[in-house]
Chains A and B, each alone.
Chain A
């Protein structure tokens, strides 16, 4: 046994609840370790001193003061009223929480859902000429989410327009 292990089992050693084998090991260690012997003696002295501390008693008017407080407690609103009040406040809190949650949900829905966002009109002058590719994202100050959504929708529209224009062009040549 080493000093660290002895410190771990010190309380059990003092209270004599160690196994026979463990106690023998501790005794052997104590025999050859003066610091641990001192530690053991200090602990015994401390425990004995603490146990001999005289018991402190409450003041003689303790019960009277307690009774006075209980009398005040008894004069408070009846528990039924308090229960009703508590259930009301709980109900109101729950309703407020639901409203708050729904509002938060609505805000995040309108802010991030592409379908619900307002489609920006693309200025005519800036529309790409037929047959050439150009990003429909032109107007500064457009929010990124909206831009992405418009990009997808407008490019789909413009590509179908381009296709029709090309067919027309081929027909005209013929």
Chain B
């Protein structure tokens, strides 16, 4: 790894780490730990578990760096690892019969356009609060939650999201659309 203030790309860093340069690994940790933590926290909803998952993600990176091939962006690869670990954790919790958010049946509901006669002229001057959004996220189905976090919180491109969740871009867009509608429904219900 070169010294100085030159900014290396993620791909250069991972290549350097594959070559045995451990400092490159810690640079990647520095770059991604908070991003991944935000993503995983919004996904699982518990700080401690989220941090454990991010730790596991970096351990995977450390032990399996050789698995990375430069056909994909590093960010896509590391988010995919984190997303898979987060999903596995959620499934484990489901099996343990911990309260599951998907069980609330909201996934299956079809969105209906709100009738203007119900509450005409209602406007949302105030933003939805963070805690309301976090609670609403928990009630959102896994597939919708993932894409909304990646798009609206992590601000990744549709192309990157498509690679992370392994579905076509069109499906990502449609999930984001439907996920947002569901989220709005839930938020309105919470208000």
Residues of A within 8 A of B (CB): 3, 7-8, 10-12, 34-36, 38-39, 41-43, 45-59, 62-63, 65-66, 69-70, 73
Contact = CB atoms under 8 A, between A and B. Distances in A.
Contact of B59 (A10, A43, A47, A69): A69
A57 B37 contact: yes
Contacts of B173: 11-12
B187 A46 contact: yes
B53 to A, nearest CB: 11
Contact of B184 (A35, A46, A52, A66): A46
B181 interface: yes
Contacts of B124: 41-42, 45
Contacts of B47: 56
Contacts of A36: 113
B51 A66 contact: no
B62 to A, nearest CB: 6
Contacts of B129: 49
A50 B177 CA distance: 14
B152 interface: yes
A58 B54 contact: yes
A7 B34 contact: no
B172 to A, nearest CB: 10
B17 interface: no
Interface residue SS majority, chain A: helix
A39 B55 contact: no
Nearest to A10: B177
Interface string B132-162: 0100000000000000100011010000000
23 contacts: A3-B113, A7-B111, A10-B180, A11-B173, A11-B176, A34-B116, A35-B115, A35-B116, A41-B124, A46-B180, A46-B183, A46-B187, A49-B127, A50-B133, A51-B152, A55-B34, A55-B38, A56-B34, A56-B38, A56-B41, A58-B51, A62-B54, A70-B59
Q: Which 4 A-B pairs have the closest CB atoms?
A: A35-B113, A49-B127, A34-B116, A49-B128
Given A35-B116, A50-B133, A56-B34, 12 more contacts: A7-B111, A10-B180, A38-B114, A39-B184, A41-B123, A43-B180, A49-B129, A50-B152, A50-B153, A57-B34, A58-B34, A73-B59
Contacts of B59: 66, 69-70, 73
B55 A56 contact: no
Interface in B52-110: 54-55, 58-59, 62-63
Nearest to B113: A35
A41 B33 CA distance: 34
A35 B133 contact: no
Interface in B17-51: 26, 29, 33-34, 37-38, 41, 47, 51
Given A7-B177, A11-B176, A58-B51, A49 B114 contact: no
Nearest to B51: A58
B134 to A, nearest CB: 8
B116 A11 contact: no
Contact of A54 (B54, B123, B130, B184): B130
Contacts of A8: 174, 177
Nearest to B153: A50
A55 B122 CA distance: 30
Contact of A39 (B41, B63, B114): B114
A17 to B, nearest CB: 10
Given A35-B115, A39-B113, A46-B180, A63 B55 contact: no
